Amino acid sequence: MPPIVILAALIAVIVWGASPVATKLAVNDLSPLSVSVLRTVIGGLCALPLALLMRIPLPATGSQRGTLFLSGFCGFIAFPLLFSIGVEKTSANHASMILASLPLFTGAIAHLWDRKTPVMVWWAGCAVALVGEAFLIGGRGATDQIATTEGDLLVLAGNTFAALGYVAGARLQREGYPATGTTFWGAAVAALALLPIALFISGDIVAAKASWLAWGGVLYLALGVTIFGYVLWYFALGKGGIARMGLFQFFQPVSGVILAALLLGETIGWSFLGASGVIMLGVWFAVRAK
């Protein structure tokens, strides 16, 4: 596999690993709806002129355009909304570890899309990871009181949309459509769709008087996660394969947990460590089996 593909995947997951912390900082001052809309509108309105200046065409066929819109809706509308609401109700640590199960969701959707049946070891790895997720969501140690079951479940539901968006974007890349096109046009279409909502809630955004940390979190989500991260990830998925590149999502929680401790002061308890270890072990087995 070319080193550039591996590097792109690693950078993408490190950038995305910080997204729970950035979201937590943003929803401290802004509503989850405002954060989810702003990250997509700002990112999409920056992506649109780039797509035009780079003369990136829309997909040529109706089928590919449908796949692009599916990718854009899942990745830039549905996932950010569910994730922002979920992070407001849980800890950044919990959100980071729940995102660790993304390879399972991505692999499952990719198998369904291709109408293939995974091997038994993959199912076993998924079962182990889901046991860890259940323990993480259902168990509450002394240091986990900030997290709620409702918030954890919302983040988990967001994984489904994120994974579906990944698979759709990867399909476009494999069919010859550039990763920049999938990212820029997907974000731009989503931003235009959400622009009326952004204007409607603009009064609430101004009244919130958000701190510079909250706005920094929004800008990181809009430019770092929505644009930079997605370009690298779709490129890596298309060039390296969905199943193989899914392995790199195994590293995604690392930066999130470290930053949550440094910037948010979130502590790591034994119940969290135990559940996290089970999740990572299950994901590792499942991804290797693919």
User: What is the rounded CA–CA span in Å between residue 241 and residue 81?
Assistant: 28
Centre a 10 Å sphere on the Cβ of residue 225 and count the other Cβ atoms it contains: 20
Q: What's the domain range around 72?
A: 3-289
Q: Tell me the C-alpha distance between 233 and 181, whole Å.
A: 13
- Find all residues with CB under 8 Å of 102, minimum gap 6, and list them: 159, 162, 163, 166, 246, 249, 252
Q: What is the pLDDT of residue 30?
A: 93
The pLDDT score that the predictor gives to residue 262 is 77
pLDDT of residue 287: 65
Give the HSE-up count for residue 255: Cα atoms under 13 Å, Cβ half-sphere: 18
pLDDT for the residue 247: 63
The predicted structure's pLDDT at residue 46: 92
What per-residue confidence (pLDDT) applies to 22?
Answer: 92
Distance from C-alpha of 208 to C-alpha of 84, rounded to nearest angstrom: 17
Check residue 227 and give left, alpha or beta (phi > 0: left; psi -120 to 50: alpha).
Answer: alpha
Q: How many CB atoms lie within 10 A of CB 274?
A: 15
Number of domains in the chain: 1
Q: Which residues of the chain fall below pLDDT 50?
A: 142
